[in-house]
Amino acid sequence: MSLYDIPLTRLNGTPASLAEYQGQALLVVNVASKCGLTPQYTGLSALYDRFEDKGFQVLAFPCNDFAGQEPGSAEEIQTFCERNYGVRFPVFSKVHANGEERHPLYQALIAAQPKAQPKEGGQLLAKLAQHGLAPKNDSDVAWNFEKFLVSRDGQVIARFAPDVEPQDPALVTAIEAALA
């Protein structure tokens, strides 16, 4: 099964899949409203605005797996994203990125890219470990705002740690290469 065949649900409850984005480069991000990294919505919106007309999509997947930082209902998440960050990119229904209930999309993303590229000089993983919040497995999504880059032909070509911000040159360069 390709990424395009995995059933998804939009935040409004309607069925969806990545097939509607076939031929575009995608940045798949697990998001949360009550996380220290939540301000990354601003940078994700900027990436979307910058590259949308070149065939790029940011796809947000709310996830409550990490310290319960996405507790809201679908309506609350939608309102939060629009009111606080002016989010125009697609937001899907909540998923599990880790554990026994891991969504098939995240199973496929992780299988294709088992290790995230860390932020240069980043301390997030060390801080998570200090607080007993480190991922159980090396391939697990570490925290909210981990980013998977999917090429125009549906291949998962890169994975970035949660603290790699949307404007990080490594991420922007990878997006530009995926769009070239």
Rounded Cα gap, residues 177 and 67, in angstroms:
34
Look at residue 1 and tell me whether its pLDDT is greater than 80.
no
Catalytic residue of the set 29, 31, 35, 141: 35
Question: 96 is written with which tokens?
Answer: 């599990």
Quickly state the pLDDT bin for 100 (edges 50, 70, 90).
Answer: very high
- H or E element, residue 176: helix 169-179
Range of weakest confidence among 38-47, 127-136, 140-149: 127-136
Q: Say what the pTM is.
A: 0.96
Position 125 scores a pLDDT of 86
| Residue 35 appears among annotated catalytic residues | yes
Segment 88-114 mean pLDDT: 96
Look at residue 152 and tell me whether its pLDDT is greater than 90.
yes
Hey, where are the domains in the chain?
3-179
Pair 48, 31: CB distance under 8 Å: no
- pLDDT tens per residue, range 13-35: 999 999 999 999 999 999 999 99
Segment 46-61 mean pLDDT: 97
Pair 145, 162: CB distance under 8 Å: yes
Compute CA 58 distance to the chain's CA centroid, rounded to the nearest angstrom.
8
* CATH number for the domain formed by residue range(s) 3-179: 3.40.30.10
Q: In what order do the strands lie in the sheet with 25-31?
A: 56-62, 25-31, 147-150, 156-160
Look at residue 101 and tell me whether its pLDDT is greater than 80.
yes
- pLDDT tens per residue, range 130-142: 888 888 888 999 9
